[in-house]
Structure 1
Amino acid sequence: MIDHIGITVSDFDASKAFYDKAMAPLGASLLHMVPAEYTGGSKVGGYGRDRPVFWLHEATPTGPGRHYAFTARSRAEVDAFYAAAIAAGGRDNGAPGPRPHYHPDYYGAFVLDPDGNNVEAVCHTAE
């Protein structure tokens, strides 16, 4: 039901470096940068697989505590997301593994991005 979502980041370049690496295992990348003349000079870019669905907007953040979960197509993608996000400077917030308290086939991993957002990759299959 959600078409796209955007988050505020305090340092676009640092967040871009993080998300470039964290999204790659999920098959997503930065697909579009909005020209500065349309953003009032702020950096705005969208990530996705086929079209931009996750947007970064450089501005004063509203604070940590936000949670964003991305669909992984396999448990191996969840593992690769976690490894890439940690290597990119993310902080552990829950290593890859089953979370049967959410759902019997729930397999996820959680990291904190440079602004303290809780970013998750999740797979809902047994493989």
Structure 2
Amino acid sequence: MIDHLGISVSNFDASKTFYDQAFAPLGASLLYVVPPEYTGGKKVGGYGRERPVFWLHEASPTGPGRHYAFTARSRAEVDAFHKAALAAGGKDNGAPGLRPHYHADYYGAFVFDPDGNNVEAVCHAPE
């Protein structure tokens, strides 16, 4: 149902560093940076696997408290996402594991990004 979404980030370069590392285990990367002449000089870039679907837009203030969940193709990808996100400076908000209170096969991990957003990788496949 969602084609793409975007979030405001207070420091585009810091967020880019974080998401570059956190998304690598999920097979996603920065696919497009909008030329600054189209953004009023603000930095804007889109991440995805085949096309940009998750956009960062440099803006202030941003405000924490948002939650974004990204599909992992395996539980190993969830584990690798969590490890990479922490190594990139993210703060733990839930180690990889089953969350049967959501769904029997719900395996997820949660981290806070540099702006305090709750970012999750989740796999719904049984083992």
Q: Which TM-score applies when normalising by structure 1?
A: 0.99
How many angstroms does 1:95 deviate by?
0.3
Which whole-Å CA distance do the structure 2 matches of 1:120 and 1:87 have between them? 15
Q: Output the amino acid matched with 1:19.
A: Y
Q: Secondary structure at the match of 2:104?
A: coil
**Structure 2 equivalent of residue 14 of structure 1:** 14
Q: Secondary structure at the match of 2:102?
A: coil
How many angstroms does 1:62 deviate by?
3.3
**Structure 2 equivalent of residue 76 of structure 1:** 76
Contact 2:62 2:115 in 1 (8 A): no
Which whole-Å CA distance do the structure 2 matches of 1:2 and 1:96 have between them? 25
Which whole-Å CA distance do the structure 2 matches of 1:124 and 1:106 have between them? 5
List per-residue Cα deviations over 1:67-104 (Å, max 9, x = no partner).
Answer: 00000000000000000000000000000000000000
Q: What is the correspondence of 1:103-122 to structure 2 with a 5 Å cutoff?
A: 103-122=103-122
How many angstroms does 1:61 deviate by?
3.4
Which whole-Å CA distance do the structure 1 matches of 2:114 and 2:20 have between them? 13
Which whole-Å CA distance do the structure 1 matches of 2:8 and 2:96 have between them? 26
Unaligned regions of 5+ residues in structure 1, if any? none
Percent identical residues: 83
Instruction: Work out whether 1:44 is the aligned partner of 2:44.
Output: yes
How many angstroms does 1:114 deviate by?
0.2
Instruction: Work out whether 1:25 is the aligned partner of 2:25.
Output: yes
Runs of 4+ in 1 over 4 A off after TM superposition: none
Which whole-Å CA distance do the structure 2 matches of 1:20 and 1:93 have between them? 19
Unaligned regions of 5+ residues in structure 2, if any? none
Which whole-Å CA distance do the structure 2 matches of 1:126 and 1:75 have between them? 9
Q: Secondary structure at the match of 2:47?
A: strand
How many angstroms does 1:126 deviate by?
1.1
Q: Output the amino acid matched with 1:55.
A: W
**Structure 2 equivalent of residue 93 of structure 1:** 93
Q: CA RMSD in A?
A: 0.5
How many angstroms does 1:36 deviate by?
0.3
Q: Which TM-score applies when normalising by structure 2?
A: 0.99
Aligned residues: 127
